Structure 1
Amino acid sequence: MAALIALPLLAAGPARAEGNFPSPGGTTNTASILTYADTVKELEKIEATSRYGVDVFTLAEAGTAVDTSEQGRNLYVATVGAGPKDVWVQGRIHGNEPYGAEAILSLLKDLGTNGSPEYKAIRDAFTIHFIPMYNPDGSELNIRQTVLWDTAADAPRTDANGRDLIVDLNRDWVAGKFQARESLAFYEYWTLVDPDYGIDIHHQGLKQQYGTGDDVTLSLGISLAPGGPTLPTIEGGAYDILTRQMHGYVYEELEDTGFITMDRYQVGNSLEIDIKGGVVSAMMLGLNYQGLNPEGHSNPVVFFETSGNTSDGSLGQKARGKSIQQNILAMRTLLTGLANGEVQQTDPEVWEEIPHAPVTGYSTDYAGTIPVTP
């Protein structure tokens, strides 16, 4: 199992200006949560000490038209590996979901320094594009969203009632949206990379496994529901099969670890999500915004949801090590299985074996709740 990196336990940095920001709420102590400055420092350290070609750069250096966050922070990417296929791995698109960033940094460090056959196979198969902190402004504020910013006034943009305009970056890759600079920047970078696979790291609230009542530590999710209204229509149904195989493989490999309790990601107790506005959904749909993706490139993506987050007080320091470690293990397992072809040989019906409540419908962002038809 990969070793955790030693991260500085620093207090979160202050916001750049006062504003009517959403209240962080909860009682979680954020003193040990990685700040933007910590993340940049760790990226630079990993690059400097890497044995296997870790490359850290900003989107300004990558040449995207928009290249900073709403508040003007640089947006960082780190690549490792020289394989012919590209993998997109993003964390902390929601600022109050912190451990994706720490898990990504730890896996990046291992891939950059570990000479074992497993890590070599991953580097040989893939060029991996790690985005540890997609939402640096929201991360500094410990909020889910980001705040739209008036750069001339260096203050939040407000609506007619004087309230700050906030955007969920994970609902902003939509033709009629792209309200935030981060969305435009990372979307253009995605069109430059044209990845073959994607992994998205999140947190969720506390929940219990259906049928056992055990506390869930990790939910396995797909943002366009397998067998649902949308996924079977994409790429002739190929992603409907491959995303099930990706999570089925992870489930089979990790179900006996002892400290990870998994289920399928559901909402409202029995609904699968089928959202088209999410970043990873847009990737699978092959969104062409402003003519940047004329060839209609698309790629399969899955996400991992660790239970607990900082803004509702449900993520304590005791859970930190295991939460980070399970994300490292899940990512590494999936990358290994994709590299050696075992994922592609997994029975997609394993998806049905992952604990879940009987599906009664699909929660969508385009048609409300769609009931399952008999």
Structure 2
Amino acid sequence: MIKGLKQIEHTSKGKVEVFTLDDYGKSEQDRSIYVAKVGSGPVKIWVQAQIHGDEKLTTGAVMELLKTFGSNGSKEVKTILENATIYAIPMYNPDGSLMNTRTTTLYDESGEPRKDNRGRNMTIDLNRDWAENGFAAKESLAVYKYWADVKPDYAVDLHHQGLKTVYGTNYSTSMSLGVSLAPNGPTLPGIKGGLYNDLTRQMSVYVYDALKDYGHMHIDRYQTGSGEKRYEIDIKGGVVSAMMIGLNYDNINPTGHSNPAIFFETKGNTRDGNLGQKSNGHLEKQNYLGLKALLYGLATDEVKQVDPDRWEEIPAYPLAGYQTDTGIVPAGN
């Protein structure tokens, strides 16, 4: 990844700026976290990938997009870069990526892995570490400080998920679109007078419209559960949830800056070995295409022209309720 970023920076002739967050901090294993910045417009868009170390195709998609932004002079690319500035973290979890684990390992001051009361290495899901009682991992605090300095207007978070089928079909879901604080759920309608409740749905529908007619791309809404019990998540401890809530940890975000955010979930992960080589390029491409389309929609404000209620058109199983940090909240409550 580092070699690829440096090559993109070189061939872009200054359009793509690559740097580390070393001034903010490094990973638990003392690795640098890399950022690529491109564009000169006023709309600031945050893109992050591979916060889970075994979700690797997301990094490839961001790298491919940066390559396009650095070398492609199409009208679409020019419009994005004239109207927006992109802040991309292609690999949020470098330690987990090299270990090929979802989580990362915590270390003590002597450089040894921290142990729990059963003598096991202590690990943490970085996507649950932006919380008032969180920031156990060094990389969490480094990225949070940078986010608070950038103050983006929007964010997109790229992930992988397990295998499932689109409701009412035999099609294997290739990608799900989600919001970590469920639209029309317990939390999001109360933030910014419902603004993010609309914007996150508009962002999702915009991506759905851009991808739904491509062959072999089967898009639905992200849900958890199985059988007749399907839930949308409403998890306040997630990183992009903290962005929408405007978390002010340790007075690092004293103005309470917040921004709407959605996530993509591509099928499969490398840890389980269920990603065949033949499918990798297709799955990476859907992230690339969806992300590029969304960035155009945000840069031009086209996203805001979408009817947010069309969120219901994105295929989904009947909603049983919401999965929250403290348990299940039934739908309608």
TM-score bin, normalised by smaller chain: over 0.9
Listed as ranges, the matches of 1:204-215 within 5 Å are 204-215=161-172
Match of 1:55 among 9, 17, 25: 17
SS of the residue corresponding to residue 47 of structure 2 reads: strand
Equivalent residue for 2:245? 285
Q: Distance in 2 between matches of 1:194 and 1:178?
A: 19
Task: Give the distance between the partners of 1:77 and 1:373, measured in 2 at CA.
Answer: 41
Deviations 1:263-313, CA, capped at 9 Å, x for gaps: 000000310100000000000000000101111000000000000001112
How far apart are the structure 2 equivalents of 1:311 and 1:183?
22
What letter is aligned with 1:356? A
Instruction: In structure 2, list runs of 5 or more residues that go unmatched.
Output: none
Contact map agreement 2:211 2:286 (CA 8 A) in 1: no
Q: Is the 8 A contact 2:100 2:270 kept in 1?
A: yes
- In structure 1, the residue corresponding to 2:2 is in which secondary structure? helix
Does the CA contact (< 8 Å) of 1:59 and 1:75 recur in 2? yes
Letter in 1 for 2:207: V
Q: CA deviation at 1:341?
A: 2.1
1:76-116: CA deviation from partner (whole Å, max 9, x where unpaired): 11100011121110000000100111100110111111111
Q: Any idea what SS the aligned residue of 1:156 has?
A: coil
| Alpha-carbon distance between aligned partners in 2 of 1:243 and 1:286, rounded to the nearest angstrom | 15
Instruction: Pick one of 174, 190, 194 that aligns with 1:217.
Output: 174
Asked if the contact 1:52–1:113 (Cα under 8 Å) also holds between the matched residues in 2, the reply is: no
Once the 2 structures are TM-superposed, how far is the Cα of residue 121 of structure 1 from its aligned partner? 0.6
Counterpart selection for 1:368 from 324, 327, 330: 327
Among candidates 166, 183, 194, match of residue 123 of structure 2: 166
Aligned partner of 2:99 among 141, 144, 149:
141
One-letter identity of the residue aligned with 2:10: A
> Relative to 1, partners in 2 of residues 1:187 and 1:347: Cα closer, same or farther, differing over 3 Å?
same
Structure 1 Cα separation of the partners of residues 145 and 103 of structure 2: 20
Check conservation: 2:43, 2:299, Cα contact below 8 A.
no
Alignment of structure 1 residues 32-51 onto 2, 5 Å? 39-51=1-13
Identity of aligned residues (%): 56
The match for 1:127 among 78, 85, 93 is: 85
Paired residue for 1:228? 185
CA contact (8 A) 1:52 1:81 kept: no
Q: How far apart, in 1, do the equivalents of 2:209 and 2:85 lie?
A: 25
Q: Which stretch shifts more, 281-290 or 306-315? A: 306-315
Aligned-pair RMSD on alpha carbons? 1.0
Amino acid at match of 1:58: T
Asked if 1:310 corresponds to 2:270, the answer is yes
Q: CA deviation at 1:52?
A: 5.3
Match of 2:288, SS state, is: helix
1:104 aligns with 2:62: yes
Distance of 1:52 and 1:262 partners within structure 2:
36
Counterpart-to-counterpart distance in 2, 1:237 and 1:194: 20
Deviation at residue 151 of structure 1 after TM alignment: 4.5
1:328 aligns with 2:285: no
SS of the residue 1:313 aligns to: coil
- TM-score, normalised to structure 1, is 0.87
Q: Aligned partners of 1:325, 1:261: CA distance in 2, in Å?
A: 13
Answer whether contact 1:149 1:156 (CA < 8 A) is retained: yes
Deviation at 1:244, TM superposition (A): 0.4
**How far off is 1:51 after superposition?**
3.8
Q: Please state how far the C-alpha of 1:252 moved relative to its aligned partner.
A: 1.5
Give the secondary structure class of the aligned counterpart of 2:251. Answer: coil
Are the equivalent residues in 1 in contact too, given 2:45–2:85 (CA < 8 A)?
A: yes
